[in-house]
């Protein structure tokens, strides 16, 4: 009986050792038969990169504030990249020929060459890594163009050759298609991944989604206080701010006439280098005058228990026989930027 118990204990010990070995040992998987490189933005070749000036509560904006971004390439077919992969790239503006943003008559425009500069004509994926990138330096000409605040410009880049991998994912055309268009998915059984249409736009430091509190003093004697018990419960100013320039934004401020109808109350905020702004009207039928101040981390112990960026405004508006003197505190909630892609057609 004792011998049986001993055998059982030994067997359990062996199983335990085997289990430990499985749990703590290094997994060793073989690579695939061949390695590849390609541009990959979640399976799409047409990402939108929004340069976010100022801070973002959720993301690092160091590159953005240096007026930079990166075009990224990746590789597949290996678990461990044992050498540097060097990909030669070239800007090819012809990729945009005849292209429009889907559902519009708006052309997809290759970004003018004076708007940016690539740091190199190659992308290096370093040994031990599976992604690499080339830095794009945007110039003042880009930021001085009002069209750069919306979806207009793309940087069209192709892979020309690669060293350190077996192939570039250049697609497989449909049978009978002799001269397939790289951007026409209908020409391909397997879509090419050797190009990217990298759309770039920017938002001002002052374009955000805000949490709003304040006081409205109407000329007829009414006073409205807008202030919840917690900052998180204050009025949400969602998608109301629009970038007009690096230091200029438009606010589609909520307003109603005496009948309760919504009024287009577009306020223009122009900032100087110190975050001080003037308030004016940006629409007929509304007059507005006032000033404001943007303060980095100025709202102390704000939502989430942290100091948050804040915009203070003191202004008067008149519309439809209504005059209102307002003091607003607008605390940055988020920048409203997310991963996005555009659709196109020819």
**What percent of the chain is modeled with pLDDT above 90?**
88
- What's the whole-number average pLDDT of the chain? 92
Domains of the chain and any CATH numbers: 36-203 (2.60.40.1740), 209-334 (2.40.128.420)
- Find the angle CA(201)-CA(207)-CA(211) to the nearest 5 degrees: 145
**What percent of the chain is modeled with pLDDT above 70?**
91
pLDDT higher at 119 or 6: 119
Residue pLDDT, tens place only, 67-120: 999 999 999 998 899 999 999 999 999 999 999 999 999 999 999 999 999 999
What pLDDT score does 22 carry?
A: 41
pTM: 0.88
What pLDDT score does 31 carry?
A: 52
Lowest mean pLDDT among 29-43, 190-204, 231-245, 313-327: 29-43
Q: What is the mean pLDDT of residues 28-41?
A: 76
Q: What is the mean pLDDT of residues 275-296?
A: 98
Q: Which residues of 269-301 are buried (b: 16+ CB within 10 A; e: fewer)?
A: bbbeeebebebbbbeeebebebebebeeebbee
What pLDDT score does 40 carry?
A: 84
Distance between CA atoms of 104 and 248, rounded to whole angstroms? 27
DSSP state of 149: G
Which residues, including other chains, have CB under 8 Å from residue 108's CB and lie 6 or more apart?
A: 96, 99, 100, 101, 154, 197, 342, 344
Q: Is the pLDDT score of 342 beyond 50? A: yes
What pLDDT score does 17 carry?
A: 34
Q: What is the DSSP string of 267-288?
A: EEEEE-TTSEEEEEE-STTEEE
The answer to whether 75 and 194 are in contact (CB under 8 A) is: no
What pLDDT score does 32 carry?
A: 56
Residue pLDDT, tens place only, 120-174: 999 999 999 999 999 999 999 999 999 999 999 999 999 999 999 999 999 999 9
Lowest mean pLDDT among 17-26, 73-82, 296-305: 17-26
CA-based nearest residue to 137, from 67, 87, 75, 79 = 67
Give how far the C-alpha of residue 188 lies from the chain's centroid of Cα atoms, to the nearest Å.
29
Q: What is the mean pLDDT of residues 226-237?
A: 96
What pLDDT score does 52 carry?
A: 99
What pLDDT score does 18 carry?
A: 39
Tell me the range of 9-13, 18-22, 261-265 where mean pLDDT is highest.
261-265
Q: What is the mean pLDDT of residues 301-323?
A: 98
What pLDDT score does 41 carry?
A: 85
Give how far the C-alpha of residue 268 lies from the chain's centroid of Cα atoms, to the nearest Å.
24
Exposed/middle/buried for residue 191 (C-beta within 10 Å: 0-12, 13-18, 19+): middle
Residue 144 has φ and ψ, to the nearest 5°, of -85, -5
Confidence of residue 42 (pLDDT cuts 50, 70, 90): confident
Q: What is the mean pLDDT of residues 248-258?
A: 97
């Amino acid at each position: 009986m004792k011998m049986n118990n001993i055998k059982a204990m030994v067997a359990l010990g062996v199983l335990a050792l085997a289990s430990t070995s499985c749990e703590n040992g290094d997994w060793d998987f073989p690579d695939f038969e061949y390695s590849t490189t390609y541009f990959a933005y979640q399976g799409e070749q047409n990402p939108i990169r929004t340069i976010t000036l100022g801070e973002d509560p959720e993301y690092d904006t160091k590159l953005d504030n240096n007026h930079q971004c990166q075009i990224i390439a990746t590789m597949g077919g290996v678990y461990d990249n044992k050498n540097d992969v060097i990909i030669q790239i070239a800007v090819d503006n012809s990729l945009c020929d005849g292209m429009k943003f889907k559902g519009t008559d708006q052309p997809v425009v290759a970004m003018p060459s004076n708007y940016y500069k690539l740091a190199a004509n190659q992308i290096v994926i370093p040994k031990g890594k599976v992604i690499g990138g080339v830095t794009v330096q945007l110039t003042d000409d880009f930021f001085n163009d009002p069209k750069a605040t919306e979806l207009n410009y793309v940087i069209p880049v192709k892979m020309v050759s690669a060293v350190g991998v077996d192939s570039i994912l250049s697609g497989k055309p449909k049978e009978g298609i002799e001269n397939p268009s790289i951007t026409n998915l209908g020409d391909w059984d397997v879509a090419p991944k050797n190009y990217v249409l990298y759309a770039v736009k920017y938002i001002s430091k002052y374009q955000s989604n805000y949490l709003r509190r304040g006081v409205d003093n109407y000329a007829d004697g009414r006073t409205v206080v807008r202030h919840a018990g917690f900052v998180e419960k204050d009025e949400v100013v969602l998608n109301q701010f629009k970038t007009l320039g690096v230091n200029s934004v438009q606010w589609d401020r909520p307003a109603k006439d005496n009948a309760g109808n919504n009024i287009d109350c577009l306020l223009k905020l122009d900032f100087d280098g110190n975050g001080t702004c003037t308030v004016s009207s940006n629409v007929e039928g509304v007059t507005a005058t006032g000033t404001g101040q943007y303060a980095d981390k100025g709202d102390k112990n704000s939502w989430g228990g942290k100091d948050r960026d804040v915009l203070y405004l003191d202004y008067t508006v008149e519309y439809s026989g209504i005059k209102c003197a307002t003091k607003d505190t607008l605390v940055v909630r988020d920048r409203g930027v997310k991963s996005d892609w555009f659709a196109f057609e020819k």
